[in-house]
Amino acid sequence: MNLWLQTLLAYVANALIGTNSISTGITSRLPADESIAIQCPTEMVLPCGTDPDHLPPPDLTQVDVQSTCPLDYIQFIGDSLYNQEGCKMVFARTFEALDECGNLARCITFLTFSQDQTPPTVKYCDTLIELGCNVNEFPEITPELVGASDECGEVTITILNERVNTNGCRHVRVLRYQVSDACGNVTNCRIRFSWLVDEDPPVVEACQRVVDLGCNPRRIPEPNPRRLRPTDDCGPVAAETAGVDSAADGCYRKLIYIYTYSDRCGNSLTCSETYLWKVDTVGPEVENCDEVIELGCNPEKIPGFDSTRVKVSDHCDGTIRFRLLNMVDRQNGCNYRRVYRYAVYDECKNRTVCRQTYAWIQDTTPPVVAGCDSTVDLGCNPEVIPEPNPARLHPFDECGPVHTESFPGDIVVVDCQYSLTYTYLFTDGCGNTTKCFEHFVWVVDNEPPTIENCVDGGISIDLGCIRDTSELPPGLPAPLIITDDCGVIDVEVLAEVYQLEDCCGVLIRRYGIMDGCGNQSFCSVQWHFCSDSLPPEVVCPDSTYLGCNPDTILQPDFSRIKVADNCRIVDSAFAYVDYQPDGCHYQLGYLYSFIDACGNVSQCEEKFAWTIDHQPPAILNCQDGGLVINLECIKDTSELPQAFPAPLIIEDDCGQVDVDVLAEVLQTDSCCGVLTRRYGVTDACGNQSFC
């Protein structure tokens, strides 16, 4: 029995020991007088995945009890979980025995099993292992190789199947395997072993290459093993230069490159590349082959090619001749070059090509000074005035360096304005010069601006009446009379307050006036105004008709007009409005005008009308107060004419008239009769005529 289980049993035994006897089932002992001893079955290791709720039933026949008294009973007490570590579970099973003397004994045995439903973990479940070349042995598939583990114990690897795939010289052995734990949980995986089968060296198409470069080759090729076109069926070929050998025999030259070619399996092949050429003679040697002749500035004439200046020699005897190949003029800014390219030949037509160059500067332009005649404003009250420094003006000449000279000046003071001028002379390499000035100006000013019309810090302006606030003056320009000894000032509105009560108000602006040196003065300006765009409200009386022939006409009276204004009425007036009589009809009007404080005007016309008529209407066809109409014969009186319209021709100067039947009399005599009607005709003024 392992050590941890012995310790566990001892702990349980101590816990159960009381006045009764107990056995752990590990050791047995013989009972003493009046005593009892019990021996439990040995520890049971159950299969993985045993259900804790369905443990194997206890077997009382496996319990050994010895007692000096006859036994009363042996019984199973119960199972209880005693310990759990990871997936391992330990249950304690307790038995009890009692003899007829009352002696009681107990023992405990243990049931151990694992609870594991999780398959093993395989870190490299699908992996490819490169074995290299020409493999004879393969690694054993172990848990360590594939990273297999299980949290509940050791694992077992079983090979399920295997196959070998071949593609050219590439071989791949594929094994499918199963990793299982003690409880039968499995994980299926795959492992591949890849290797090359290659025992042949690379193939080199031009393994022993010989190249004749002819006479006096300009360039000898550098070593390059790829020129021999190596190939290998099983992959890339590594190539290197293993050695270089050279030999000379008179004018003959030989150069041998030794190359080694290796494939990935270490198969190698050695090849050579040989270059042959002939050196007939050496070209002429020109001591001043690239001679540059300086002509200075602005030369009048450029010389032609002069072979007498060429210093030439040759290690072989013979005549030297010259040939002018070309002439090129080049310009870089003001730097000019005329290059004569010529060849020097020996008798074997070996030649040396050289250049004879004439260089000069074409420069009639003085230096360019970016800051020439610049003015630098040092601001207000500067602490330091700069010393002369021509570099500040950034002189530049495209033809070379510029030489500078400085000539300091004196400080000039005008009021608070100060100035200082430095004079500089800039000269280029060809003697062209530029004269420049550098001006420094500054202000010495510690006094703030003066506001002449700002008394006790403020100004009050009465704007009178305005239409609305849009007619208020803008913040700038400010209504200030400002002077400053040192020039330009800046005026700024610092604050603005607008107050309105009824139709009048005040606009207050606080101004800050700052001079160029930051000295500041302040002033508040108040604009008083009234804003009233509404005319007075006037209620005019209706037109009045005075009737006919009135005795009097009403005179103008402002009390008859109702007028009001949101500010106040400051003036009023009236005028007569005359109308031309219309016959006997007359009109008279009074035009009242009311003006408020802002000049808004409202008008009202009061009209009076009347009629003057003393003449009755005229009945033109009524002679001597009567009119006779002969109807001749009628059927009966129903054919007599109606009273209206009356058969009268009426005129009146003053308009409409009213016609009434005042009386009607019908007289008959035999078959004839007379119908008499008396009409009254009345005009609008009550004048009346009768017929």
- For residues 143 and 6, give the distance between their C-alpha atoms in angstroms, rounded to a whole number: 32
- The residues spanned by each domain of the chain are 3-114, 121-196, 203-278, 285-361, 368-443, 450-531, 537-611, 618-690
- For residues 430 and 295, give the distance between their C-alpha atoms in angstroms, rounded to a whole number: 12
Mean pLDDT of 614-641: 86
Q: What is the DSSP string of 61-97?
A: GG-EEEESS-EEEEEEEEEEEEEEETTEEEEEEEEEE
Options 1.20.120, 1.20.950, 2.60.40, 2.60.120; which CATH number does 203-278 get?
A: 2.60.40
- For residues 128 and 651, give the distance between their C-alpha atoms in angstroms, rounded to a whole number: 138
Options 3.30.70, 2.40.160, 3.40.50, 2.60.40; which CATH number does 285-361 get?
A: 2.60.40
Q: Domain 450-531, what architecture?
A: Sandwich (2.60)
Res. 388: pLDDT tops 80: yes
Q: Which residue has the tokens 């109807």?
A: 631
Q: Count other C-beta atoms under 10 Å from residue 115's C-beta.
A: 16
Express each pLDDT in 513-560 by its tens digit.
998 888 899 999 999 888 877 888 888 888 888 888 898 888 888 888
Res. 234: pLDDT tops 70: yes
Mean pLDDT of 672-676: 89
pLDDT at 585: 86
Q: Domain 121-196, what architecture?
A: Sandwich (2.60)
If one compares 202 and 572, the residue with the highest pLDDT of the two is 202
Give the distance from CA 272 to its chain's centroid.
Answer: 65
Surface-to-core class of residue 589, CB atoms within 10 Å of its CB (0-12 exposed, 13-18 middle, 19+ buried): middle
pLDDT at 286: 92
pLDDT at 685: 87
Express each pLDDT in 8-58 by its tens digit.
444 444 444 333 444 444 433 344 445 899 999 999 999 888 888 899 999
If one compares 574 and 258, the residue with the highest pLDDT of the two is 258
Give the distance from CA 566 to its chain's centroid.
Answer: 56
Res. 7: pLDDT tops 50: no
Mean pLDDT of 395-399: 89
- Greatest mean pLDDT among 239-253, 388-402, 459-473: 388-402
Express each pLDDT in 635-661 by its tens digit.
888 888 988 898 988 888 888 888 898
- For residues 555 and 553, give the distance between their C-alpha atoms in angstroms, rounded to a whole number: 6
Res. 136: pLDDT tops 50: yes
pLDDT at 281: 74
Q: Is residue 462 within 8 Å of 528, Cβ to Cβ?
A: yes
Instruction: Look over the chain and give the mean of its residue pLDDT values, rounded to a whole number.
Output: 87
pLDDT at 273: 94
For residue 505, give every residue at least 6 positions away whose Cβ sits within 8 Å of its Cβ, in sequence order, or none. 498, 499, 528, 529, 530, 531
Taken as a whole, the chain contains a residue count of 691
Q: What is the DSSP string of 13-36?
A: HHHH-SSSEEE-SS------TT-E
Establish whether domains 121-196 and 450-531 are of one fold: yes
Domain 537-611 matching CATH 2.60.120: the answer reads no
Of 63, 66, 95, the closest CA to residue 79 belongs to: 95
Express each pLDDT in 73-121 by its tens digit.
999 999 999 898 888 899 999 999 999 999 999 999 999 988 888 899 9
